[in-house]
Amino acid sequence: MYKVYVSGALTDVINPTACKALYEKIGLLCEEVGFKSYVPHLHTDPVNNPDISPSEVFKQDKYQVSVSDLVIAYLGSLSFGVGMELAYAETNKIPIILLYEQGKRISRFPRGIPTVIAEVKFHNDEDALTQLKNILLKWNK
Q: Domains in the chain: how many in total?
A: 1
Strands 116-122 and 36-38: unpaired
- Give Cα separations from 88 to 26, 81, 85, 102, 117 (angstroms): 20, 11, 5, 26, 16
CA gap 131, 125 in Å, rounded: 10
Phi, psi for 97 (deg, rounded to 5): -115, 125
CATH number of residue 100's parent domain: 3.40.50.450
What is the per-residue pLDDT across 74-133, written as a single tens digit (0 to 9) for each?
Answer: 999 999 999 999 999 999 999 999 999 999 999 999 999 999 999 999 999 999 999 999
CA gap 103, 113 in Å, rounded: 20
So what's the pLDDT on residue 141? 62
Q: Please count the other Cβ atoms lying within 10 Å of the Cβ belonging to residue 99.
A: 23
Quote the domain boundaries for residue 24.
Answer: 3-139
At residue 22, what is the residue type? L
pTM: 0.96
Question: In 3D, which of 119, 123, 114 has the Cα closest to residue 132?
Answer: 119
So what's the pLDDT on residue 48? 86
